[in-house]
Amino acid sequence: MKGLGYIFSFLVLIILGYNVFLWTITFDKANLDNLHNGEVEIIGHGGVGFSSLFPFKFFPSNSYGSLFKALNEYEVDGVEVDVHITKDDKFVLFHDSELSPKTNLSGCAGSQVLSELTETKYELGFPFDLFQSERIIGLEELIDSLYLREEFPALHLDIRNWNACNTPQENTVFEQRMATSLVQFLRKKQVPEEKLLIISLSQTFLMHLKEQNNPYPVSFEIVGRENEFLQWAIEYGVESVTVKPRLLSKELSKKAHDAGLKVITFGAKSKSGNKKLLELNPDAIQTDNIPALKDLMGY
């Protein structure tokens, strides 16, 4: 019993010490140099972020529970979701390329019909499945739910414009089909243009959007050769760029801002990680730790 008491006391000291450490991490938003006059749009990354043990988060990303916890409890400005097109030309929310790591299905989301996917529960393993029974949801289901809110939030669509189960030749057709279907779907749903952002790392996909006279704002995701691709984004005429954290710098943000482009970055599971992102002068952060980012911004 005495040994257990020592262990408990040790754990308490660790938790207290960690909380004191977090308290020392601060950020002065007066130092932010962005297009939002020192404010940052807080976007839930797949909702409240990926499931994790510390901090403990049991919701799967892109699930209804995760997205609406971010919107209702944390009151974020909006949410980011990962979008695949299904075999029957519907849109489904799922992060990974293949289904097997997080469900009992095999193959890819793009090779299934929507009805089968939305009947499928997430399987994240122990201990997460003790707390969650979420299922895969479709983009239309999410949009319909967002319309029930007093105000439609910002919605970032991270487009999965390839199917890992396809050949490269098949994906060429797949990508064009997805661009055409997406614009038609969003117009049919009358999603507010000022609330939506389509994000893609594919130049080809973005060109297909132009062919469809896409009316929605677009963000080009930069995953390498940052200066070269920033110049391409400026010439294409996107509204923003989404930049991997390891590639983003104050200098790149300034170049984008000078061209009138907003800067979005993502990730950051810790308070210190969110602080590092803020120091790069973004206009929006798709964060995996909403409370930490809100605390740093004084919201």
Domains, in order of start, for the chain: 29-297 (3.20.20.190)
Query: Residue range 216-226: average pLDDT?
Result: 98
* pTM, full prediction: 0.92
Average of pLDDT values for 238-242? 98
Residue 217 has pLDDT above 70, yes or no: yes
**Rounded mean pLDDT of the chain?**
93
H, E, C per residue of the chain? CHHHHHHHHHHHHHHHHHHHHHHHCCCCHHHCCCCCCCCCEEEEECCCCCCECCCCECCCCCCHHHHHHHHHHCCCCEEEEEEEECCCCCEEECCCCECCCCCCCCCEHHHCCHHHHCCCECCCCCCHHHCCCCECEEHHHHHHHHHCCCCCCEEEEEECCCCCCCCHHHHHHHHHHHHHHHHHHHHHHCCCHHHEEEEECCHHHHHHHHHCCCCCCEEEEECCCHHHHHHHHHHHCCCEEEECCCCCCHHHHHHHHHCCCEEEEEECCCHHHHHHHHCCCCCEEEECCHHHHHHHHCC
Mean pLDDT is lowest, of 21-30, 36-45, 201-210, 242-251, for 21-30
pLDDT, position 1: 54
Q: What is the pLDDT of residue 24?
A: 78
Mean pLDDT computed over 34-61: 96
